[in-house]
Amino acid sequence: MTLIPTILCGGAGSRLWPVSRELHPKPFIRLADGQSLLQKAFLRGAALADAKEILTVTNRDLYFKTEDDFREVNADKMPTSYILEPFGRNTAAAIASAALHVAASHDEDALLLVLAADHLIVDQRAFNDAVEEAKTLAARGKLVTFGIRPDAPETGYGYIEAEGNDVLRFVEKPSREKAQQYLDSGRFLWNSGMFCFAAGAILRAMEKHCPDILEATQACMRQLRTAEGKCLTQMELPAEYFEKVREDSIDYAVMEKAANVAVVPCSIGWSDIGSWTAIGNLTEADAEGNRVEGEVLLHDVSNCYIQSRDRLVGAVGVDNLVIIDTPDALLVADRLRAQDVKHIYAKLKASGHEAHQLHRTVHRPWGTYTVLEDGPRFKIKRIVVKPGASLSLQMHHHRSEHWIVVSGMAKVVNGDKELFVNTNESTFIPAAHKHRLENPGVLDLVMIEVQSGEYLGEDDIVRFEDVYGRVS
């Protein structure tokens, strides 16, 4: 039986700010063991016996970060493929494009196992058993969802009322009182947002219940194939077609309407890691109930979660707080109000503050840059270029740049000149000069870049050539 684990990777993760940002969302957050939630989802799917490839639906801007994360853990060389959306349209569109691709590249009987990139599952054996049960149901034409047996009256999850594998109804996020009634009844499960179904079965259901979403997504896929002329492992959906796809979740668009829906009740150690309290609970508490990650000194502190990967944090005489320290932002919140962090994120986004979108260290296809200092008419960056990688051939209207090589060797195009810059050497790029930076070596190239000029925004860039497809 062909099984295609399909990872949906997107979202903002606004409740996990300041570690989660728009271009570094929740799936990329590293847990205490060093692995990201996305990597754990990949390994979870790749460990299944019938898995043929890992298909990932993600945003175009997150493709290279996703590929880097997978490369770190894909020791067995599991085949990977990607559908790249220009912007989010929720899970119905993502699943429609995945099902169309799987039906075309495998067949309509191939099963999709839809996994969220930002959930945590700690019991792999129980998960494998639940998938086997779901596969059996899906092979009979069922649209299968996974229901988590609840152990608390959670108000942040949707619920499923069920008898065995039969779904009686889907229920919205309840009040505390109603959630307790659901827990006491023993008839309700948490809606996990994971699914299993044959490609043909979900396409037929979408044709019946949300034909506009399916037709608009089909138009995207047809345009994609016409433009590329072949089946690729990275399929970029054209924005001018994708913007016509209506936004909706697969739950609302199909699962709550279809008659052939089934559920697999399971206890797999599942969490959607929806707040800093949930992240903190993954770390063992000390005698005072404190959970800490990083270099932290405490005096008369209790029931706090403190995370600081880069700096020493000291806390005195506080109780029941979440403290998250990053190089450019600090969060202090009451643990009981950890869900409200999303309001800080929303205010940053509304004001246009870049702290909702970027960290000081920004990942690019070619490597990373870290902003060391930013002042009037100057900015200092540390740039790391991966072996064999190169930046685009580009130009800036409003700034000049000094490049100092700290380690490695740089191949530089500067105007009409091409030169090699070795360790402890430098070069100057005047404004309006075409230039390109490349690492021709086998080790990382590390540089310090000093920008100066009247405008230093990241959007002051004109690309002429680019190996990563960022030039029209």
pLDDT 10s per residue in the chain (472 long)? 899 999 999 887 899 999 999 999 999 999 989 999 999 999 999 999 899 999 999 999 899 899 999 999 999 999 999 999 999 999 999 999 999 999 999 999 999 999 999 999 999 999 999 999 999 999 999 999 999 999 999 988 999 999 999 999 999 999 999 999 999 999 999 999 999 999 999 999 999 999 999 999 999 999 875 444 444 588 999 999 999 999 999 999 999 999 999 999 999 999 999 899 999 999 999 999 999 999 999 999 999 999 998 999 999 999 999 999 999 999 999 999 999 999 999 999 999 998 999 999 988 989 999 999 999 999 999 999 999 999 999 999 999 999 999 999 999 999 999 999 999 999 999 999 999 999 999 999 999 999 999 999 888 999 999 888 777 5
Contact 80, 111 (CB under 8 A): no
Residue 362 φ then ψ, to 5°: -115, 130
- Distance between CA atoms of 339 and 355, rounded to whole angstroms? 19
Contact 395, 435 (CB under 8 A): yes
> Which residues are within 8 A (CB) of 276 and not within 5 positions of it... i.e. 6 or more apart?
15, 16, 305, 322, 324, 331, 333, 335, 338, 341
- Distance between CA atoms of 408 and 418, rounded to whole angstroms? 17
Choices 2.60.120.380, 3.40.50.300, 2.60.120.10, 3.40.50.720: CATH for 361-465: 2.60.120.10
Q: What angle do CA 433, 439, 443 make, to 5 degrees?
A: 155
pTM: 0.90
First to last CA, the chain: 40
* Neighbour tally for 457: CB within 10 Å: 11
- Distance between CA atoms of 399 and 432, rounded to whole angstroms? 8
At 226 the pLDDT is: 46
At 366 the pLDDT is: 95
Give the domain ranges of the chain. 3-271, 276-349, 361-465
Give exposure, 108-133, as e/b (b: 16+ Cβ within 10 Å). Answer: eebbbbbbbbbbbbeeeeebeebbeb
Looking up tokens 């728009």, which residue turns up? Answer: 22
* CATH architecture group of domain 3-271: Alpha-Beta Complex (3.90)
